[in-house]
């Protein structure tokens, strides 16, 4: 009897092409495609160091990822979960909310994950943010940001300083992006839901660095993404290449003179990789390939794999790109190429200063009353802004966004209600241990549910239940092993649960 959902085979036309391109290396490549998918864990260095996480990790960690100092490989995933095609490369590379492996623990449902201590991601998908190498204080744009793997990595590399705009054009994906950014606790991220053309029209050549992790055919994810296998066709590859060229043309207009543009995919197709870059170089002579640092196992770009009859500019410079193959590295397939814009390039930035409203006198009084009673840390007054009834802590030197669709203009601190201020969940995850007056700390190691017993407090809290706990009345930070997790409000010996309904996992 045939299984209900048989595993689709890897497309024969794809394998024929790769055999032709790889030559003697093809046998190792084909064998790797039949192996186990690889997953990884990247530590949130805004909260703790990789070495500190090693000491408390509930998940068996493998070797450090060579191209990402904050990351570890995990035990192989036990199975590949199906997924939609034409996703961004990091979306395909994300380990998901509950990858298998990790010694029987679901890493995506552990309380440390809910506290934002780590992000689950294919190690190869960690490469683009590392290669872009954003610096603290810079202006950076992640043009196709969902579900947030690249954005969280960029925010950590920037140490939470400067401006990071995380944009997602798809309405259905922007919510997932917002959740991951909020969990990460970065103070320099603005989330937008716009098409790239509107961003280019508004900002012009404004950003120091731009990352384009382009939607692609997903060939590099064939080990774990059965949907990519089913959807693949030569026509799909050609269609993705057209789409990628259009996105890259717009991205090129957003980079300041002297700035950098990194293009990445999770496909092996030269039509979606070197040829897309070659077309951009023909159309934008102010750009040049900026050679990327290679790591052990990385293959250089392969301009010799492009169509021979295609008109090319600086063909040999495309070897400055990098390719990641599963037979060479402990990860899935990826491509990345860095472009630098000439210092002499023309362009005038069209941005204006931030014009969000400052808190009114009444709102300032409510905020200060809350902060004085609840917090043990301060927030710079010149970075507090109001949108509607919400109070935000915006990035430093934030520009105006005009009529662009902004989901969150920074860290959502809370909401002004009638004669009171109510803290928001992102504020809890932005705070560091020791920055709140009243804390209810729960243990991650308390025994699980047993028949006839009340659920352990941590499970109960993450499931939306209130907790009996004597102490000072008022807003209380609920933490796990000392790490901020969410809010509760203590009333008559009971901490009423304010953990967001959409985040509850038990």
Q: Tens digit of pLDDT for each residue in 242-280?
A: 999 999 999 999 999 999 999 999 999 999 999 999 999
Contact between 120 and 96 (Cβ < 8 Å): yes
Give pLDDT, residue 99: 38
> Which positions are annotated as active-site residues?
266
Give pLDDT, residue 359: 96
CA distance 48 to 50: 7
Dihedral of the CA atoms 373, 375, 377, 383 (nearest 10)?
Answer: -90
Distance, C-alpha 46 to centroid of its chain = 14
Degrees, nearest 5: CA angle 171-174-178: 155
* Helix spans in 9-57 (H): 12-22, 26-33, 50-56
Q: Which residue has the tokens 């930070």?
A: 477
Indicate yes or no: pTM above 0.85.
yes
Cα dihedral sign, 249-251-253-258: negative
The packing angle between helices 274-283 and 234-252, to 10°, is 40
Rounded mean pLDDT of 375-403? 96
Give pLDDT, residue 349: 74
Give the three-state DSSP class for 65: coil
Q: Dig out the tokens for 163 from the structure.
A: 């401006």
* Least confident piece of the model among 24-33, 153-162, 443-452, 454-463: 443-452
What is the gyration radius of the CA atoms in the chain, in angstroms? 24
Give pLDDT, residue 4: 57
CA distance 86 to 104: 31
Give pLDDT, residue 141: 98
* Helix spans in 76-126 (H): 89-93, 111-114
Degrees, nearest 5: CA angle 15-16-22: 80
CATH ID of 12-341, from 3.40.50.150, 3.90.1150.170, 3.10.20.30, 3.40.50.720: 3.40.50.150
Of 189, 184, 195, 185, give the one whose Cα is nearest residue 166: 189
CA distance 372 to 283: 57
Phi, psi values for residue 406, rounded to 5°: -105, 120
Rounded mean pLDDT of 51-79? 88
Largest CA distance in the chain: 78
Confidence of residue 91 (pLDDT cuts 50, 70, 90): very low
Q: Domain spans of the chain?
A: 12-341, 438-445+453-506
Count the neighbouring beta carbons within 10 Å of the beta carbon of residue 361. Answer: 7
Contacting residues for 410 by C-beta, under 8 A, at least 6 apart: 187, 189, 190, 383, 385, 392, 393, 394, 395, 398
Contact between 212 and 202 (Cβ < 8 Å): no
What CATH fold (topology level) applies to the domain 438-445+453-506? 2.30.130
Confidence of residue 200 (pLDDT cuts 50, 70, 90): very high
* Least confident piece of the model among 145-149, 342-346, 441-445: 342-346
* Least confident piece of the model among 216-225, 284-293, 346-355: 346-355
């Amino acid at each position: 009897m045939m299984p209900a959902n048989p595993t689709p085979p890897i497309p024969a036309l794809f394998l024929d092409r790769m055999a032709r391109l790889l030559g003697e290396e093809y046998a190792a490549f084909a064998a790797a495609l039949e192996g186990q998918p690889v997953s990884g864990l990247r530590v949130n260095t805004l909260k703790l160091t990789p070495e500190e996480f090693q000491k408390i990790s509930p998940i068996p960690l493998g070797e450090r990822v060579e191209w990402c100092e904050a990351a570890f490989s995990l035990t192989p995933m036990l199975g590949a979960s199906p997924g939609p095609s034409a996703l961004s490369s990091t979306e395909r590379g994300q380990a998901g909310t509950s990858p298998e492996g990790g010694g029987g623990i679901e890493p995506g449902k552990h309380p440390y994950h809910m506290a934002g201590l780590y992000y689950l991601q294919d190690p190869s998908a960690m490469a683009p943010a590392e290669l872009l190498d954003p610096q603290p204080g810079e202006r950076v744009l992640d043009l196709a940001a969902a579900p947030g793997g690249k954005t969280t990595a960029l925010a950590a590399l920037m140490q939470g300083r400067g401006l990071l705009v995380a944009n997602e054009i798809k309405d259905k994906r922007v919510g997932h992006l917002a959740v991951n950014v909020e969990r990460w606790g970065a103070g320099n991220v603005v989330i937008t839901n716009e098409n790239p053309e509107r961003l280019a029209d508004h900002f012009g050549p404004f950003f120091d660095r731009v990352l384009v992790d382009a939607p692609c055919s997903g060939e590099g994810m064939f080990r774990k993404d059965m949907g990519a296998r089913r959807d693949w066709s030569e026509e799909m590859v050609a269609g993705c290449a057209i789409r990628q060229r259009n996105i890259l043309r717009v991205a090129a207009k957003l980079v300041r003179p002297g700035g950098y543009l990194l293009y990445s995919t999770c496909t092996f197709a030269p039509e979606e990789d070197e040829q897309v870059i070659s077309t951009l170089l023909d159309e934008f002579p102010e750009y040049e390939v900026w050679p990327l640092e290679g790591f052990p196992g990385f293959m250089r770009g392969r301009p010799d794999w492009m169509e021979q009859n295609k008109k090319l500019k600086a063909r040999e410079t495309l070897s400055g790109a990098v390719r990641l193959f599963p037979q060479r590295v402990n990860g899935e397939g990826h491509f990345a190429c860095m472009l630098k814009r000439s210092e002499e390039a023309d362009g005038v930035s069209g941005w204006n200063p931030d014009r969000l409203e400052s808190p009114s006198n009444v709102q300032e009084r409510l905020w200060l009353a809350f902060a004085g009673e609840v917090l043990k840390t301060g927030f710079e007054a010149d970075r507090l802004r109001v949108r509607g009834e919400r109070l935000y802590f915006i990035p430093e030197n934030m520009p105006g966004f005009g009529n662009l669709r902004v989901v969150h203009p920074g860290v959502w601190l809370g909401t002004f209600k009638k004669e009171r201020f109510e803290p928001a969940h992102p504020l809890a995850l932005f705070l560091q241990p020791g920055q709140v007056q009243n804390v209810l700390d729960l243990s991650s190691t308390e025994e699980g549910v047993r028949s006839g017993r009340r659920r352990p407090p941590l499970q109960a809290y993450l499931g939306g239940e209130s907790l009996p706990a004597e102490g000072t009345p008022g807003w209380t930070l609920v933490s796990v092993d000392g790490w901020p997790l969410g809010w509760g409000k203590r009333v008559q010996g009971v901490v009423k649960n304010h953990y967001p309904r959409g985040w509850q996992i038990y």
